[in-house]
């Protein structure tokens, strides 16, 4: 049986604190976030329209359309976290995570993988991650405080990947290695388990261990292996084998 750790005291949550923010500050924060969000959505829609002309018509854009739906769900998730609507937040986040699996399966099954799709998927992943973290701070602040070091390691490595990719190639990473996909699944399982059933130690340990392994692999690939930007890389072992065979 998995070990369940019940927290017996109540901590001040993000929701409790945000209720006391000045209204003007909240409005400015909301306006800034909304403007940035709208700009990202406009750019993504423009890219999809251009790519549809060269990637086999609109059927080829089904995975991209799913990524756009995930992009559009990010801001409502943050709003739901701000208003402390845990039930709606949980179900919308679950739909977003399941759609992430669906667009990848469809793209690979029908050979619809494109550079645009990889970029959209990466942006959607980042925005969904931000929304998920906002939800954890809003609804599970006690767990975040007790295990802050583990979360800090995972988040730091996640940010380091994009920083390294920007430094090396001038754009964010879209490697989507096999191990990083497994890490994303374990992160989703941890978050949904935490929101629905409460904290369970095995989900945290699995998530942290696999995430560290996946992100370290991507850092090695970016900094030591790839000579130029590439999307949809299987993993370090496959790249080294390709180099050995070349």
CB neighbour burial string for 9-41, b if at least 16 within 10 angstroms, e if fewer:
eeeebbbeebeeeeeeeeeeeeeeeeeebeebe
Structural domain includes residue 7: no
User: For residue 73, how many other CB atoms are within 10 A of its CB?
Assistant: 20
Structural domain includes residue 91: yes
Structural domain includes residue 4: no
Confidence (pLDDT) at 29 = 41
Q: What is the pLDDT of residues 177-222, one digit of tens each?
A: 999 999 999 999 999 999 999 999 999 999 999 999 999 999 999 9
Asked if residue 103 lies in contact with residue 66, where contact means CB atoms within 8 angstroms, the answer is yes
What value does the mean pLDDT take over residues 226-243?
94
Q: What are phi and psi of 110, to 5 degrees?
A: -105, 15
Number of domains into which the chain is organized:
1
Structural domain includes residue 134: yes
Position 116 pLDDT exceeds 90? no
pLDDT band at 118 (very low <50, low <70, confident <90, very high): confident
pTM of the complete model beyond 0.85: no
pLDDT band at 93 (very low <50, low <70, confident <90, very high): very high
Beta-bridge mates of residue 174: 231
The highest-confidence range among 100-104, 111-115, 187-191, by mean pLDDT, is 187-191
pLDDT band at 107 (very low <50, low <70, confident <90, very high): confident
Structural domain includes residue 191: yes
Asked if residue 82 lies in contact with residue 138, where contact means CB atoms within 8 angstroms, the answer is yes
Range of the domain at 239: 14-245
Return the CATH number at 139: 1.20.120
The residues near 10 (Cβ < 8 Å, ≥ 6 apart) are 142
Structural domain includes residue 54: yes
| Structure-token pair, residue 2 | 């998995």
Q: What is the pLDDT of residues 22-66, one digit of tens each?
A: 444 444 444 444 555 545 555 555 554 444 444 455 667 888 899
Structural domain includes residue 8: no
Confidence (pLDDT) at 36 = 55
CB neighbour burial string for 159-187, b if at least 16 within 10 angstroms, e if fewer:
ebbbebbeeeeeeebbbbbebbeebbebb
C-alpha–C-alpha distance, residues 152 and 132, integer Å: 15
Residue 36 half-sphere exposure, CB side, CA atoms within 13 Å? 10
| Structure-token pair, residue 243 | 């180099």
Structural domain includes residue 3: no
Top-confidence residue, 62 or 147: 147
């Amino acid at each position: 049986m998995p070990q369940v750790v019940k927290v017996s005291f109540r901590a001040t949550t993000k929701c409790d604190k945000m209720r006391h923010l000045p209204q003007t500050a909240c409005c400015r924060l909301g306006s800034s976030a909304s403007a940035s969000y709208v700009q990202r959505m406009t750019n993504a829609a423009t890219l999809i329209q251009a790519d549809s002309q060269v990637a086999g018509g609109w059927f080829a854009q089904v995975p991209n359309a799913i990524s756009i739906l995930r992009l559009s769900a990010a801001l409502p998730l943050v709003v739901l976290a701000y208003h402390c609507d845990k039930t709606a937040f949980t179900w919308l986040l679950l739909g977003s995570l399941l759609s992430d699996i669906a667009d990848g399966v469809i793209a690979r099954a029908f050979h619809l993988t494109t550079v645009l799709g990889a970029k959209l998927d990466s942006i959607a992943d980042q925005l969904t991650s931000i929304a998920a973290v906002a939800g954890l701070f809003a609804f599970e602040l006690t767990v975040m405080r007790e295990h802050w070091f583990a979360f800090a390691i995972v988040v730091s490595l996640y940010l380091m990947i994009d920083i390294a990719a920007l430094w090396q190639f001038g754009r964010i990473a879209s490697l989507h290695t096999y191990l990083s996909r497994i890490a994303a699944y374990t992160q989703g399982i941890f978050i949904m388990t935490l929101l629905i059933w409460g904290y369970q130690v095995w989900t945290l340990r699995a998530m942290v261990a696999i995430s560290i392994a996946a992100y370290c692999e991507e850092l090695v690939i970016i900094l030591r292996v790839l000579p130029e930007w590439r999307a949809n890389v299987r993993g370090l072992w496959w790249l080294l084998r390709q180099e050995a065979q070349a």
